Chains A and B, each alone.
Chain A
Amino acid sequence: MSATLFDKLWDAHVVDSIDGTDVLYIDQHFIHEVTSPQAFDGLKTRGISVFRVEKTLGTADHNVPTINQHLPIKDPMSKAQVKKLSDNCAEFGVELYQLGHEKNGIVHIIGPELGVTKPGMTIVCGDSHTSTHGAFGSIAFGIGTSQVEQTLATQCILMNRPKTMRITIDGALAKGVFAKDIILYIIAKLTASGGTGYFIEYAGSAIRALSMEARMTVCNMSIEMGARGGMIAPDTVTFDYIYGRERAPKDKQWSDAVTYWSTLKSDEDAIFDREERFDAADIAPMVTYGTNPGMGIKIDAQIPEVLDVASFDKSLRYMNFHKGQSLIGHKIQHVFIGSCTNARIEDLRIVADYVKGRQKSKDVSVMIVPGSKQVEAQAKKEGLDKIFTDAGFQLREPGCSACLGMNEDKIPSGEYCISTSNRNFEGRQGPGARTILASPLMAAAAAVNGEIVDVRQLY
């Protein structure tokens, strides 16, 4: 019988079922400092060890400073949390890329970068953007701390099988339109809850044409429409990306792996619970104007005239925007280029390409935060750090940074930040902060101009 890629992989990982709920085997578990301490405590209370330490990998990312990482963390609670992760990993024998380690970084950046993330796997992490790893043709999704504990204890979680949705995007993207715009466009079409209950497969020629890093950007934000995860069937782009990475299969194992990975696709006549189709030519550079990622518009469109919906009005009040308004020319005070959505080397190159020889506006502060130590090192190797410094951009050390108002990097109340991250919720970047989500090029252009511009005008 024909099946979707998702169903094939899910079926291959079901250990058992109880009353319609599946015991799903997890091939790879990533952990970080925020959602793991209570899970390790659970193991201690039960007096049990980590069932498969070799399938568990830790990093410190959410709660770390992004300057002076060699100094002790100032905030005592952040410091205690990061230390707790080290202590727990040491006690249970879990491999950890601690703060300052040359391979430290945001969990969803380092997994793929190290070659840990591979096609056909089931991957979980106590973080909703685990969906990023689906770009490799794996089932990857975020879990809560109780499930982190389950995974540590048994390498399995209990879960009901989600429904499947295929989103097909055919055609070519216009200049100035990036993976970030594709996903913001999709979320704007389907709404912030439109994907709830589904696991998405992205398909079509526009998706195939994306680089591996761009595919990760798309899958990363699947959760922003409520979908548990998003995946893209692996192909030569995937294999080329993995080849030679530290944890990639080697020699004979490599060719066996590629042979197997090449079979990972939905059958021609597979039936999805839902199908959506979009035309790549219809996608423009996107910006959000509200307080959920579904509130996005094409840069040359106006904020919609939604009549008297309390939550919509509340959202616009928070952002201090009004119906019918265009965001072109809107002044911003901060630019944040970073997060697991857009802090890979390609993102930094896009920014550098544009800002080379230009200067940031004097009214804007710009933070550029690489996703990992390796991205940071690569940027320096390519001389991008110099371009950024010359432009007045501050290149910082890796971490989640201003993606979430948890560490030292926050946006002040009432001020606007154009951000390459994934969430524009109220207070996400700090209490009262006003977030506008966009692509790295949109962010870079706003940094230089001090206001939001349509990047298609740059060409």
Chain B
Amino acid sequence: MKKLTTIYSTAVPLPIEDVDTDQIIPARFLKALTRKGFGNNLFRDWRYYGDGNEVKDFVLNNDMYSGEILVAGNNFGCGSSREHAAWSLDDYGFRVVVSSFFADIFKANALNNGLLPIQLSKEELQKVFCAIEKNPKAEFAIDLEAQTFTIKDSESIFSFDIGSYKKMCLLKGYDDIDYLLSQRDKIEAFEKQQVIY
């Protein structure tokens, strides 16, 4: 997994609530056998018409916006457990998603792929949207070690939560699986005492 320590970037605003995983990556694009290439179909049906032409006013097609940070409305990532949602955001080039609320499975999937979900309060999120609206090239700074999200223009600094274990994984680029594999003895010992039917 890629390490993530600090990010300085502009951001892409998506002020829509309840963005579900079927919007992030529609089911018909889940047929690939690898983790690669999903970025092309990120937000496919919002980004392109059925005939393949770009929907001009969708944010990803708007040259004004760019960056490694996606800022989205409340309850981002609800719906399915498809990790393809996290893969497609990552493959597109996002390293951070900011929202006022994330669905659980999406959050876990994102963290397992080095994509940082940052949960702000509704008011803070609104300030981030306002900053981008005022200046589409507004810059943001994320410091994972300090757990802070800064709007550079206004010097507003927001702090965010992250579990200490997951924080360590991101900072060092560790996968859960490395840790679990190191625990096999304990797992086998656990199995020995378990009664199952």
Which A residues contact B (CB, under 8 angstroms)? Answer: 15-16, 18-21, 23, 25, 27, 34-35, 37-38, 41-42, 46, 48, 51, 62-63, 75, 77-78, 80-81, 84, 118, 120-121, 126-128, 130, 142-147, 149-150, 153-160, 162, 192-193, 196-197, 223, 226, 228, 249, 253, 256-257, 260-261, 292, 310-311, 314, 404-406, 413, 423, 425-428, 431-432
Contact = CB atoms under 8 A, between A and B. Distances in A.
A142 B81 contact: yes
Contacts of A77: 31-32
A22 B103 CA distance: 19
A193 B17 CA distance: 11
Given A154-B183, A427-B26, A144 B105 contact: yes
Nearest to A315: B18
B103 A425 contact: no
A80 B33 contact: yes
A11 B191 CA distance: 14
A19 B183 contact: no
A350 B144 CA distance: 54
A218 B79 CA distance: 16
Contacts of B78: 192-193, 196, 226, 292
A149 B112 CA distance: 11
Nearest to A258: B197
Contacts of B22: 404, 423, 425-428
A311 B73 contact: yes
Interface of B: 15-18, 20, 22-23, 26-28, 30-35, 45, 50, 73-75, 78-84, 86, 101-105, 108-109, 112-113, 163-166, 168, 175-177, 179-181, 183-184, 186-187, 190-191, 194-197
A360 B11 CA distance: 52
A81 B31 contact: yes
B175 to A, nearest CB: 7
A160 to B, nearest CB: 6
- 6 A-B pairs closest in CB distance: A144-B83, A142-B81, A144-B109, A257-B197, A406-B27, A77-B31
Contacts of A153: 177, 180-181
A120 B80 CA distance: 25
A256 to B, nearest CB: 7
A51 B185 CA distance: 12
Contacts of B18: 192-193, 292, 311
Nearest to A254: B197
B163 A146 contact: no
13 contacts: A23-B180, A25-B191, A41-B33, A118-B197, A126-B81, A127-B80, A144-B109, A147-B176, A156-B187, A427-B22, A427-B23, A431-B50, A432-B45
Contacts of A162: 104
A301 B177 CA distance: 50
Contact of B30 (A34, A142, A260, A427): A34
Contact of B181 (A118, A121, A154, A249): A154
Contact of A149 (B104, B177, B184): B177
Given A142-B80, A311-B16, A427-B26, 18 more contacts: A16-B183, A16-B186, A23-B180, A25-B187, A35-B83, A80-B31, A142-B81, A154-B184, A155-B187, A158-B179, A193-B75, A196-B102, A196-B103, A261-B197, A404-B27, A405-B26, A423-B20, A423-B80
Most buried by B among A118, A156, A256, A406: A156
Nearest to B80: A128
Contacts of A62: 27, 30
B132 to A, nearest CB: 16
Contacts of B179: 18, 158
A82 B96 CA distance: 33
B177 A23 contact: no
B117 to A, nearest CB: 13
Contacts of B195: 260
Given A144-B81, A292-B78, A310-B16, A406 B187 contact: no
Contacts of B82: 34-35, 144
A19 B163 contact: yes
A412 to B, nearest CB: 11
B172 to A, nearest CB: 13
Most buried by A among B17, B84, B113: B17
A81 B15 CA distance: 35
A27 B196 contact: yes
Nearest to B197: A257
Contact of A127 (B17, B31, B81, B164): B81
Contacts of A126: 81, 83
A115 to B, nearest CB: 11
Contacts of B165: 18-21, 158
Contact of B190 (A15, A78, A261): A15
Contacts of B16: 310-311, 314
A311 B17 contact: yes
